[in-house]
Amino acid sequence: MGTVLVTGGAGFIGSHLAWSLIEDGAAVRVLDNFSSGIRDRLAQMAPGVDLVEGDVRDVEACQRACRGVDAVFHMAALVSVPQSVADPATSEAINTGGTLNMLLAARDAGVRRFVFSSSAAVYGDTATIPTPESALPMPASPYGVQKLTGEHYARNFCRLFGLETVALRYFNVYGPGQDPSAPYAAAIPKFLARLLRGEPAVVFGTGEQTRDFCYVGDVVAANRLAAAAPSEAAGGVYNIGGGGRISLNRLLAMIGDALDVRAPVRYEPPRDGDILHSGADIRLAGERLGYHPTTSLECGLRETAAYYRSMRPR
């Protein structure tokens, strides 16, 4: 593999991927505008990373980032469902317009493989769980609509222009490095941060809604497999999950065990755009990409809890 580009490489998943690639000797370029990414993450990788500071809404920045690149991992996005509900226009410009800009830039630069980070949000509330990729997408939020649109663009570019694209539908990704302080932070880092402060975790709904949680290391592995998979995998869409699902109430009990603390809960009304149940059928990713998650939820939560405990002020 030659030079690889990670858009959003200063973000949570993107920085884990960039580190993994650098450790294996790859030449890594990152495109990031630091709207949510953390600059210090890239500083820790120096001099192993080539930074292009820019926004995926900027056509010239996308073109500059793609020059001389063999593979693109397109992770830059506005990833929050609630934020997409609150401001659909901005999330549309980033998630749909930015993806189209990157696909055009990759095509014109002669990129070999384009790995698109999609989301289980494309499914919405589906009756089929675990959900296969063949299930009819019915997104319940603008974010889900935008990710589904990105998948269609990726497939079109594969068929029309010969750009090998692979779309990965992430389920709930967690692990060390997620920011619990963001207004729309993911559930696990928020739960951990509040419990470590001795505050109750906040659950929207009854807590009996279920999710498929996937450790960030397994998501990194899935991306690398997608970049190296045979051409037959191109144009495809693949679920990337942990291989099981759990209720938020049970998850909180496990987080309490990992922290060795009691896990009090405060329940609040459900949020617009949230779904009740989510679980991945990952058989196709196993068959076509060789993806098999290796980190159990128990182990992943212990690793994540240890990270957040170590980050607390002394």
Residues tagged active-site: 143
Query: How many Å apart are CA 205 and CA 210, to the nearest integer?
Result: 11
Query: Taking Cα atoms as reference points, which of 209, 208, 205, 207 lies closest to residue 277?
Result: 209
CB 84 within 8 A of CB 205: no
CB 102 within 8 A of CB 157: no
Q: How far apart are the first and last CA of the chain?
A: 43
Query: Taking Cα atoms as reference points, which of 8, 10, 11, 17 lies closest to residue 226?
Result: 17
E-strand stretches of 81-223: 113-119, 164-170, 172-174, 201-204, 210-211, 213-215
115, two tokens: 């790995």
Query: Taking Cα atoms as reference points, which of 56, 51, 158, 54 lies closest to residue 107?
Result: 158
